[in-house]
Structure 1
Amino acid sequence: MPDADLDPFGPEPWLRLGELTFRSRLLLGVEQYTDPAVVRDVLDASGADVFITTYDLERTRSSLLLSDLDREVDLARFAWIGTTSFAHSANDAVETSRRLRDSLGLDVIKLDVRDDSNMPDAAATVVAAKELLNDGFSLLPFILPDPATARVLEGMGCSALRLMASPVASYRGLVDEAALRSCIDAVGVPTVVEGGLGSTAHVSRAFEIGADAVLVNTMVARAPDPGRMARAVRHAALAGGFAAGQLDTPA
C-alpha cells in the first residue's frame, strides 16, 4: 500500500475536472510494463492517484490487459484518464480518444500527437485539440515549451498543458529552463513537466521552476528496481513541491 505519511501530496487538488480530482503532483505512465505486479508496485510506491490508459489503433504493441491489472491493482481508487501517446497524426489522436470514450467512458485525455522523430507536433496537436474540445473532451496536451502554442491551446479551453523538458526517454532533464519558465509564466492553467526526466534531481527542479506537476515513465520503467525508483521520485516531487511553496503540510 502507499506510504501513509506521504498521502495525499497536498490538501487541495492542483487540477479538478468534473468529478475527477488530481492531488498527487506525480503522474506515472504505465505503457511500458508487461508484468501487472510491477505496475502495482510502482503505482503504490509513487503515490500516484491517476491511472493512464490508451488504445492502440494499430494493435501492434504488446500491452497488459486491464483484466490482468485489476487482479493486482485496485483500479477503482484511481482517477482514470486516457492517452493518445501512440498517435502520429491528428486523426489518430481523435480516433484514439473516441475509442477510449466509447470503450471505457473516458473523456479526459492526455493528448499526444508526435512527429516521426517522436517530438510533439504543435500544428497537429492544435487541430486534434479543436475537434476533441468540440466533442466535449477535457485535454492535457503535450507540447514543446513554446509560449505561443501554449497560449493558443489555453485559449481554446485545454485544462492543463504538458511541457517537454527534453526528448522522451533521453534522460537529459530540463535542457532549457528559461523556455520552460517562460511557457509556465505565459499561461494560467496548470502545467506538467515531462519528457526526458532521468533523475530525482530533474523532478525536484521541475517544481522549483514553477511546474504544478511532473509525469515520469521511462526513468522508472527501465530502472533496475522500478518500485524503488518510483518511491524515490515521489520523495523528489515532495521535496520540489515544498521548495516551491506548493505544499505546506509536513511530510
Structure 2
Amino acid sequence: MSVTAPGDIGVDDNWLTLGGYELTSRLLVGIEQYTSPTMVRQVLEVTNSQVFITTVDPDNNRPSLLLSDLADELPMDRYLWIGTTSFARSGSSALRTAHILRDSYGIELLKLDVRDDGNMPDNRATVEIAATLRDQGFSVLPFILPDEQDAAALESLGCSALRVMAAPVASGRGIPDPGPIRRIIDGVGIPVVVEGGLGTARHVTLAMEMGASAVLVNTALVEARQPLLMAASMRSAVEAGRLAYLSGGMPGDEISTGLSGAVG
C-alpha cells in the first residue's frame, strides 16, 4: 500500500487542468490493450488514475473493449474522458479518429499520437495535425520524439501538455538518454509527460526525478504476471520520484545536473 505525502509539498498538487478538471494524480494509464473490463477497473483504482483514455480504430484493424461493457463495470462519470489517436498511422487517420471521438462522445481533449509504420512518433506530422486540431477547438496532448524545436513549436500552438518518448513503445528499455528529455522539461512552460518503454518502477522513478510532471504506462502493466502489483509499484514510484525531484537531489548527481547517461 502506498503512502501519499502531504499535498502541501507538491506530490498530489494540481499539475494540469483540462476541461475544468484538475489533475492531481501524476500516473496516467493506457487501457487499449486490455480484454477484461474488470481488470481495467482494478488497474484504474490501484493507480489512482483520474482519466479514462478511450479511442476508436478508424481502420477497424484492432479489437477493443466495448464502451457498453466498460460502463457496466466502471463508474464512468468519476473519470475525465480523454480521447487518443494511438492507433493512427498517418495524419489523416489521426484527424479522422479525433472527429469520430468528438462526434460520437463529445470528446475534445485529445491524446494525439501520429506514428509511422515502425510505431515511432512522426514529429513533423504531429506538429501539423496539432495545429489543425487546435484551430478546430481541441485541447491537445501530443506525443513526440524528444526534439527541443518541435517541443517549442507545439507549446506555441497552445498544446495543453507534451508527451515525450523515452524509448520505443512497449520496449521496456527505460530512459537510455535522459539528457534530451530533461532539456525539454527545463525548456518549456507546459507540463511534460514521459512515456514509452517505461517497463519498471525504476524507470518511472527516474522520469519523475528528472522533473516530469507525470508519466504514462501501459504495456508494463498489461504484460506483468501480476498486473495489479505492478500498478501499485508504479504508483509508489511516481510518488518517490516526485519527492526526490522536490528534494533537489545531491549536488553533482546525474539527474540534478541534467547529464545524459544509460539508464536502461
Shorter-normalised TM range:
over 0.9
Counterparts of 1:65 and 1:173, CA distance in 2: 31
* Cα-to-partner distance string for 1:203-227 (whole Å, 9 max, x where unaligned): 0100111100000000001111111
1:90–1:125 Cα contact (<8 Å) kept: yes
Q: Could you say which residue in structure 1 is the equivalent of 2:168? A: 167
Q: Which residue type is aligned with residue 56 of structure 1?
A: D
Counterparts of 1:52 and 1:75, CA distance in 2: 11
Counterparts of 2:92 and 2:63, CA distance in 1: 22
Find out whether 1:38 has 2:48 as its counterpart.
no
* Cα-to-partner distance string for 1:65-104 (whole Å, 9 max, x where unaligned): 1111112111111111000001111111111111101111
The sequence identity of aligned pairs, in percent, is: 52
2:185–2:211 Cα contact (<8 Å) kept: yes
Q: Could you say which residue in structure 2 is the equivalent of 1:64? A: 65
Q: Which residue type is aligned with residue 141 of structure 1?
A: P
Counterparts of 1:141 and 1:127, CA distance in 2: 11
Counterparts of 1:78 and 1:10, CA distance in 2: 20
Aligned residue for 2:40, secondary structure, equals helix
Aligned residue for 1:97, secondary structure, equals helix
2:2–2:235 Cα contact (<8 Å) kept: no
Unaligned runs of 5+ in 1: 247-251
Aligned residue for 2:97, secondary structure, equals helix
Q: Could you say which residue in structure 2 is the equivalent of 1:249? A: none
Q: Which piece of structure 1 moves more, 3-12 or 106-115? A: 3-12
1:208–1:243 Cα contact (<8 Å) kept: yes
* Cα-to-partner distance string for 1:147-185 (whole Å, 9 max, x where unaligned): 010000001111100000000000000111011111111
User: Which residues of 2 match residues 47-196 of structure 1 at below 5 A?
Assistant: 47-196=48-197
CA-CA distance at 1:10 after TM superposition: 4.5
Counterparts of 1:160 and 1:116, CA distance in 2: 25
* Cα-to-partner distance string for 1:112-161 (whole Å, 9 max, x where unaligned): 00011111001110111111000000000000111010000001111100
Find out whether 1:14 has 2:4 as its counterpart.
no
Counterparts of 1:89 and 1:239, CA distance in 2: 37
What TM-score does the superposition give when structure 2 sets the normalisation length? 0.89
CA-CA distance at 1:60 after TM superposition: 2.0
What TM-score does the superposition give when structure 1 sets the normalisation length? 0.93
User: Would the alpha carbon gap of residues 6 and 68 (structure 1) be closer, same or farther in structure 2, given more than 3 Å must change?
Assistant: farther
Q: Which residue type is aligned with residue 230 of structure 1?
A: A
1:21–1:79 Cα contact (<8 Å) kept: no
Q: Which residue type is aligned with residue 125 of structure 2?
A: A
2:141–2:160 Cα contact (<8 Å) kept: yes
Q: Which residue type is aligned with residue 83 of structure 1?
A: T
Q: Which residue type is aligned with residue 155 of structure 2?
A: E
2:27–2:214 Cα contact (<8 Å) kept: yes
Q: Which residue type is aligned with residue 215 of structure 1?
A: L
